[in-house]
Amino acid sequence: MQFPEHSVSRRSILAAGVAAATAVALDSSRATAATVPPASAAETGWVNATLHRMTLEEKVGQLFTTRVYGETADTTDPDAVSMNQSFLGVDNAAQAVARYHLGGFVYFAYAGNTRAPEQVAGLSNGIQRVALDQPSEVPLLLSIDQEGGAVVRLGPPATQFPGNMALAAGRSVPDAGTAAGISGQELRSVGVNQNLAPVADVNINPANPVIGVRSFGESPELAADMVAAQVRAYQDAGVAATLKHFPGHGDTAVDSHTGLPVISHSREELDQIDLPPFRAAIAAGADSIMTAHIVVPALDPSGDPATLSYPILTGLLREELGYDGVVVTDSLGMAGVRNKYGDERVPVLALKAGVDVLVNPPKMKVAYDAVLAAVRNGELTERRINESVTRVLRLKWRRGIVHSPFVDTAAVAGTVGTPDHLAVAQRITDRTTTLLRDEPGALPLGPAGKVLVTGWDDSAAPITTAALGRALTERGLTVDVLSTGAKPSQARINAAVAAALSHDTTVVLTNRAAGDSGQQKLVKALLASGARVVTVAVRDPYDLMYFPEAPTYLTTYAFNEVSMRSLAGVLTGAIQPAGRLPVTIPDPADPGTPLFPFGAGLTTV
């Protein structure tokens, strides 16, 4: 499909395309019933028999997915045990399954779950073995946030991709599907059977602090097609896809981890902007959809976040959009869902609203006991619990988890990060780097000169600048690297300016410069020094708003190694820039006017 390349500011998005958006919605609605396969006799038999033999405690447990600390299911590591005792009241994953009859776990790097692919596979097998030893004999959903780009939990040697906004810059729906397919294969090989991706939010707010490059951009049509392609690819690989964050988190300047955003869109605007990707994903047969901790007055004037809103989850998602898959919450530890009600009320209210799976409650025992109590006192019926458990069991059957709960740890190396996968990821990424300005004589960088790579980097270590330095060196350049860290001090800025004056070209990296005056000062100081400067936003392309005078400007949408290799190719002329903006960069002097419109990019393709 060809996508219109024109200036699409937030204002124009809100005003344009009612007929087109309605057509997308109608097409998706018509396709929904046809793309959700009917239950087989074997599936129905297993689901009904399993539900019949489960106790109420086991049923309630199926509605919870939580994090757990440790590299193995039965870890005795003192630090992991201490964290698990604080969070879950047990020592490890094995004890958590036995105590709460859990439906799943979600893996995190910070929890020690994803140190290496073979270790993840062992953890998954250990957890599934414990689950199948329980009386209910139900395998678990093992989930992860592997969006690509800025949000990944399973790092190298797993194949890395540049993320959604970069894929959208490449404008290739097949590439988006290929990226999801490879990620899905690698996740399934280590026992992960649910990915909390793709992000379906349409990012039309440059100040969005939590979505940004996680989105496919500001075009509802482009996002819808790419989301649908990824849903199909993940699920073809045996991994349940999870759309997030319903009904759309793309137009907010508040992070729901720390506050409660309000989306002020009218119902017409929601239909034009936010809902098309969800409609398309439902039509593609998405296994699960994640709720957003956002208030949407046009859908529910109560002030409740969508996660707790019956009009949004049951009225809109279930009844109007016809969705009968699994609805999961975003983390219940986030401020956006905790501020209005206590932790013991949130899981009950979420289930009453239409949720099926409760993710990461702040205190597992409090949440689990609250749901049990609500059933026993009649606030929730067991029939309502059965509805959600049926959806969860159905998903586990359809994704092959019931028949194949275990993975072959010896086969992991033959799937994860293979040369073929890495080569495909590099080719896809090479089509995403976007060149917006090119000062005459600045590019390509020639092998005769000296290049300084400086600017933003991880606060713990100079990972990104070092990766770009290596990639440029491999292409024959003489390169020095001077990281200024995540928030450069005046001393580091001065050092970078001094170093720039002794190099022929300085490549300065920025990352979310909107939130850091030090990065803004660094770029401006380099530009004022008289040195030749190439500025690169390695996350949000909107950084240019804070130094619009930059004469040469590129954006990669991601700061991982695969993105830095592509950037090095473009900088040296070995790769022709092919990416086009999937968002509008507003003019800081006149936000209603684009500095660079949707579709901008100096390309030869």
Give domain status of residue 521, yes or no: yes
Domain count, the chain: 2
Beta bridge partners of 585: 596
Q: For residue 384, is pLDDT > 90? A: yes
- pLDDT score for 592: 86
Residue 4 lies in a domain: no
246 and 122 assigned to the same domain = yes
Mean pLDDT of 322-327: 98
Nearest-5° Cα angle at 145, 76 to 186: 85
The yes-or-no verdict on residue 2 having pLDDT over 80 is no
Average pLDDT over residues 559-567: 98
Q: How confident is the model at residue 257 (pLDDT cuts 50, 70, 90)?
A: confident
User: Has residue 492 got a pLDDT over 80?
Assistant: yes
Query: Does residue 392 sit within a domain?
Result: yes
pLDDT at 21 over 50: no
What integer pLDDT is reported at residue 605 of this predicted model?
A: 60
The residue segments making up the domain with residue 478 are: 425-596
Q: Is the domain of 216 the same as that of 126?
A: yes
Catalytic residue among 330, 356, 430, 516: 330
Place of tokens 């700061």: 559
- Residue 43 belongs to what H/E stretch? helix 41-53
| Confidence class for position 37, pLDDT limits 50, 70, 90 | low
Pair (260, 135) in one structural domain: yes
Whether residue 140 is found in the same domain as residue 93: yes
Is residue 516 predicted with pLDDT exceeding 60?
Answer: yes
265 part of the active site: no
The residue among 383, 409, 435 that closes a domain is 409
Strands 585-587 and 590-596: antiparallel
Record the pTM: 0.93
Q: What is the pLDDT of residues 391-447, one digit of tens each?
A: 999 999 999 999 999 999 999 999 999 999 999 999 999 999 999 999 999 999 988
> Based on the domain organization, do 443 and 530 belong to the same domain?
yes
Q: What pLDDT sits at residue 19? A: 31
**Of 366, 385, 409, which one is at a domain's C-terminal end?**
409
Which residue among the candidates 74, 255, 257, 504 is catalytic per the annotation?
257
At residue 459 the predicted structure's pLDDT band, cuts being 50, 70 and 90, is confident
**Mean pLDDT, residues 544-572:** 97
Whether 150 is in a domain gets the answer yes
CA-closest candidate to residue 67, choices 56, 77, 80: 80
330 assigned to active site: yes
Q: Say if residue 324 is in the same domain as residue 459.
A: no
Note whether 16 and 76 are same-domain residues. Answer: yes
Residue 266: is its pLDDT beyond 90? yes
Give me the count of residues in the chain: 605
Mean pLDDT over 525-533 rounds to 97
pLDDT at 26 over 50: no
Task: Give the pair of three-digit tokens for residue 347.
Answer: 């899981």
Is residue 605 in some structural domain?
no
What does the pLDDT look like over 574-587, one tens digit per residue? 999 999 999 999 99
* 418 part of a folded domain: no
DSSP run (H or E) holding 275: helix 275-283
Kindly indicate the confidence band of residue 36, based on its pLDDT and cuts at 50, 70 and 90: low
Domain boundary residue, one of 375, 409, 443:
409
> With 0-12 CB in 10 A as exposed, 13-18 as middle and 19+ as buried, what is 166?
buried
Q: How far apart are CA 374 and CA 62, in angstroms?
A: 16
Pair (433, 384) in one structural domain = no
Determine the average pLDDT of the residues in 386-390: 98
309 has pLDDT over 50:
yes
458 and 393 within one domain: no
Do 156 and 275 share a domain, yes or no? yes
Q: Which of 91, 31, 599 is nearest to 323 (CA)?
A: 31
Query: pLDDT of 153-212, one tens digit each?
Result: 999 999 999 999 999 999 999 999 999 999 999 999 999 999 999 999 999 999 999 999
CATH, residue 461: 3.40.50.1700
Mean pLDDT within 487-496 = 97
